[in-house]
Amino acid sequence: MKFIRRALVSAVAAIALVVGPAVSAEAATMSFDVTKLSAKNMVISNSNCKYFDVHLKYKKRNVDSWSVDSEIAGRHGNATTAFFGDYSYPYDKDRAMICPSLEGLGKYTIGPSEIDADYSNSNYDSFWYARTDYTKGYFYVRGKTYASLSTKRSGKTVTLTSKTKVYNPEKYGKVSYNPKVKFQVKSGSKWKTIKTVAAKKGKATYKVKTKSKKTYRVTFSQVSWATGATSKSVKR
């Protein structure tokens, strides 16, 4: 509803600006464009709300003062808003806050933005400029993950068992996590993947047949809503 109301105001302003050839010529020279919106990715390991910086880049022409109001939305919808303006310092950075326990993990979108600007010419005539800018930026809010590895030998068979968890702020704690786990063995100074297994209920198992003692670990990559992790190495 907010953007609909602002769009109506912008339409009225546009009509007002074209009344008379002189006003129309002045208004036509005004522009303000958002060129980039950005914020750093976050890693969540507790249920607290998080403050973070949002950055704006822009280009303008014949604008004396301006403000930009950018929506920030998470998985469950609008989360907060970033405000920028030449009346504040720094004018191209705002401190915003999200609460992942309410808004979830994953990809967050910055934008669209509502722009208000004004301009005064040499005759002290004032002109107002308003529009919606659809430039968007993105950042990711990921839950911190945890990986552990236990081993057991029976004759020539070594059973490797991994356990994986992720912090889920909506559940206020660590929960079982089911990534594709890579079981790795150390070969010289490097790690070699011997098997990739999809975890179930936070657990994955793989059996290796070997007579000699070797060093093992498990690892998995990050996704849009969870970090990657690597377990401590175990020799068996």
What single DSSP character describes residue 89? S
Q: Which pLDDT does position 182 carry in this prediction?
A: 98
Task: Clarify whether residues 67 and 89 are in a common domain.
Answer: yes
Domain that holds residue 218: 144-235
Neighbouring residues of 193: CB distance < 8 A, sequence distance ≥ 6: 182, 183, 184
What's the structural domain count of the chain?
2
From 127, 142, 157, give the residue that closes a domain: 142
Low-confidence ranges of the chain (pLDDT < 50): 1-22
Q: Which pLDDT does position 166 carry in this prediction?
A: 98
Spatial contact of 158 and 194, defined as CB atoms under 8 Å apart = no
Q: Which pLDDT does position 79 carry in this prediction?
A: 86
Q: How far apart are CA 178 and CA 113, in angstroms?
A: 37
From 123, 142, 161, give the residue that closes a domain: 142
Alpha-carbon dihedral sign for residues 85, 91, 97, 98: positive
**Entry pTM:** 0.84
Give the CATH number for residue 77: 2.60.40
Q: Which pLDDT does position 224 carry in this prediction?
A: 97
